[in-house]
Every structure is written in structure tokens, then in C-alpha cells.
Chain A
């Protein structure tokens, strides 16, 4: 058996793994806080008001905000894209380099947008 070509899968698998960890660690808490407790009025809602969050972001928590976006949006997006891409293979449903581009491309594009919006808030005067 000759030496096979090196796969680029480590890149996608690393993002997938990191996304999986973020999904498991951060998302349950976030869903509990923003999806359940806040709508039920059980959270002090003043903390989550736009002006409050903006001042928090601009007063030294900017990098934390960027990391938050990365952990709860960007990495989980790549996690989901990876699952969908490999799911297509399992279902024998159009798995190709085109679907790979589509899956990871969408995750990449949405990640860039999420980071852009966070950055623009950060730098907003």
C-alpha cells in the first residue's frame, strides 16, 4: 500500500472538537439564562440591557466579549457544519468537496459576521 495523501481533516476536526466542548460547557448555561430564566422574568433584566452590555464590553471586557462570541457562536457553528458534512456521507447524500465548501463556508461566513458585529459594538462610540 503506497503512502496516502495527508488529509486536511485535522483542521476541521480540531474546530469540531473545540466546538463540541463549547457546546457542552457553555450552551446549557446560556440556554438556561437567556432562553428560560430571562423570559420567565427570573433574572435581573437590567444586567442584560443593551446599554449595560455595551458599557461592559467597552470597559475592559472587550476581549472577553470576543472570546464569548467565539465560544458560543463560531466554534459551535463549525461543530454543527462538521456533523452535517459527515452526516451527508453517512446518508450517501451528496457528500463532496462542494458540500464541504458549503458547510464550512457557511460556518466561516457566519463566524466572521458574528465577530464583526461584536467588534463593531466594541469600537462603537
Chain B
């Protein structure tokens, strides 16, 4: 067992004037994840520490935090990869509810704005059929777990919270590329706006931090091409 120094940001908006860093010493070995360490703090050292978590295996997307300034999933980040002090803060660019818990309301509003579901007029009961090639077009983008790390990584979302952001635009692409879907026309107006695909300047950090490696920056750039095509087509429409 090695001892690690965690500096955890504490903030309770109802009582504190500003956030502060609190030091905790936690034991860990090569299997101890950042989430394990945070749960150790909560269960053994300070029961008032607020954090959000659920599955412990990078499926639920709940335990996103900033680790030394980089957005990470707590359960997928390990103490063994850090040597000196580890600074743990709530996800950047979101309002803090308490300690490491952030308010995801705006993120969820952006996701729902792009109509993230199959839109078609199919009412039969038979299964949809898709070829492997049709599946491959969107499958990568369908692996998003809505953890919000890409929003913490995105400087444009930090500057402009109205920007739809990487996950929402990736989700729009995921459905626009699906052969079972006919809802592209309903999604394009959101992507065509200045806060849609055009709010992105292709920094690409979203793709670096994505715990599912689904390359949101590529999806956003594809959405730009789609929006540019939509722009040209609209010029020829009455």
C-alpha cells in the first residue's frame, strides 16, 4: 500500500463563499481507482463529501471529475499513474451543486434539443434490418455514455454555454447516419445555427478525453460538412 495525497475541491453554495481545496491522505495500490479513493474519503474520513457515481466500470458516465485539470472518469483513472499530489475538482464549465457534483441540466437540454431518437413513420412490428455497412456508419458514435467530459474539455462550451457541444452534435450525427432514421430535416436547424456545429473551432480536446474513444471532434466536423451541404441546398429551395 502506498499513501497518496488528494486535494479535493470542497464547496457548498449554501454555506461557503468560495470553493477551497481540502487535503486527504488515502492508501492505494496498483488497483485503486480515483473513484475508490474518493469513496474511501467519503466512507472513512469525511462523510460530507459529495460525489456522484454508480457503476464503477465506465458504463454509467456519472463519476466524471477533473483530475489535475484534465476531465476523467473516476472509475477509469488509477492512483498508480500519479505520483505527487492529485488535485480533484468538479467537471469544468458546469455549475457546482456541491463538492464534486455538478448541475448537468444544460447538458441534458442540449442533448434533447437534437431529438436523439429514431424518427420515422414506420409502424410495423417486424424488425428493422441493417447491413453491417449501414451499422458501421454510425456505430462508433452510438457508444456515448453522456458523461459530459467532452463539455469540460471544450473551450468553446466554456466560453459559450449555449453551444450545443460535442456530445449533442455527435448524437445528432449518430441518428442522422442511421439508415432507419428519417429525422435529419428536423435535426439540421439546430446544427445549422451559430451555436450548432458552427460553434466548434476544432480544438479536438473532446476526442482526447472521451473515455469511449468515439471521436466527437470527427462527428462535429462531419456535421459541419452536412450543414454546409444543407446551406447550399437551401439556396436552391423557394
Contact = CB atoms under 8 A, between A and B. Distances in A.
A90 B234 contact: no
B190 A7 contact: no
Interface of B: 109, 113, 155, 159, 189-190, 192-196, 198, 201, 224, 227-228, 231-232, 234
A86 B201 contact: yes
A75 to B, nearest CB: 16
Given A13-B224, A90-B159, A92-B159, A7 B196 contact: yes
A78 to B, nearest CB: 15
B238 to A, nearest CB: 16
B133 to A, nearest CB: 27
Contacts of A9: 194, 198
Contacts of B159: 89-90, 92
Contact of B234 (A3, A4, A6, A89): A6
A14 B225 CA distance: 9
Contact of A4 (B109, B155, B193, B224): B193
Nearest to B110: A1
A5 interface: yes
B109 A13 contact: no
Given A86-B201, A90-B159, A92-B159, A4 B228 contact: no
Contacts of A1: 109, 113, 190
A4 B190 contact: yes
